[in-house]
Amino acid sequence: MGTEDAEAIAPGTCPTASGMPMLGLGTWQNDDADQCAESVRTALETDYRHIDTAQAYGNEEAVGDGIAAADIDREDVFLATKLWHSNLAYDDVLETARDSLDRLGVDSLDLLYVHWPSGTYDPEETLSGLSELYDEGLIENVGVSNFLPSDLEVAVDVCDAPIFANQVELHPLLPQKQIREACENYDIEVVGYSPLARGRVFNQAEIQEVAAKHDASEAQVSLAWAREKGVTAIPKATGADHIGDNWESLTVELDREDINTIDAIDETSRQVDPDFAPWN
């Protein structure tokens, strides 16, 4: 589990974690169909190979259009989506996953997540449905999202297919140490959404200090920090400038002093906190 041997990865090359590219394009709130499709196409032609969406984002069709428009083979793209919490009964898992495939215009998914352990989520029913999709070859990997360590323990116990990844909000202001440790124990990859804390990292003195040292942007430093933690980051970006700036984070190599500076940030800021979250 985790990053490939760093010595084998050239600067600017995207490392992988268990075959998953460790920098992806997030598409949350990218709900203008034309813009979303163009963002996905731009990212893929910038060398991104990991695209993340969800049923709740309302843009799966546009994401599929962007993949189709890019001059990239489908098998080279790691594509993930998520089942919304109203679609987690056994039959709904099977039906709505197929609906997502249709909207995305693909025959299979590289990763399908349970978006939240809430709503109609029932570990045995929901994960049985996902295991069936896995056995049928419609999904390559089963994922969960926003799962606490206790939720992971249950999921690992009841799911017939391996749990591949847990996607959680994760950034220097919410490092999620306990969840990372639990995932390490269960051999589960960690995928971090909102890795820039919705822009709050830009004004953090410690991030600014490290960015100035490396002549890098605050976004690039935050993404490099996540990579050093073994976390796959999926920052949202729409314009070519931000897509490109995030990609250049792969050239930023932080040293131990940098990591310690960022780890010492004495502030916690959770950006995604719905009432139905398992921690509420």
Cα 201 to Cα 148: distance, rounded to the nearest angstrom: 24
Q: pLDDT by residue (tens digit) across 8-54?
A: 456 668 999 999 999 999 999 999 999 999 999 999 999 999 999 99
- At residue 216, what is the residue type? A
With 0-12 / 13-18 / 19 or more C-beta atoms within 10 angstroms meaning exposed / middle / buried, residue 7 is exposed
Q: pLDDT by residue (tens digit) across 154-193?
A: 999 999 999 999 999 999 999 999 999 999 999 999 999 9
Cα 208 to Cα 210: distance, rounded to the nearest angstrom: 6
Cα 142 to Cα 101: distance, rounded to the nearest angstrom: 15
Residue 74 DSSP class: G
- 142, 131 in Cβ contact below 8 A? yes
- 160, 128 in Cβ contact below 8 A? yes
| Closest C-alpha to 261, from 200, 196, 212 | 212
Instruction: Give pLDDT, residue 6.
Output: 40
Please report, for the chain, how many H helices and E strands are present, in that order.
10, 10
Report, as an integer, the average pLDDT of 238-248.
Answer: 96
Q: Which two tokens stand for residue 144?
A: 């969960």
- 193, 170 in Cβ contact below 8 A? yes
The strands making up 142-145's β-sheet, listed across from edge to edge, are 25-26, 50-52, 78-83, 111-114, 142-145, 163-169, 189-193, 231-233
Q: Which residues pair with 232 in a beta bridge?
A: 191
Cα 259 to Cα 228: distance, rounded to the nearest angstrom: 8
Examine the residue annotation and report whether 90 is marked as an active-site residue of this protein. no
Taking the whole predicted model, whether its pTM rises above 0.85 is answered as yes
Computed over every residue of the chain, the mean pLDDT equals: 95
Instruction: Give pLDDT, residue 9.
Output: 52
Question: Integer distance in angstroms from the first to the last C-alpha of the chain?
Answer: 30
The residue annotated as part of the active site, out of 48, 57, 113, 134, is: 57
Instruction: Give pLDDT, residue 267.
Output: 87
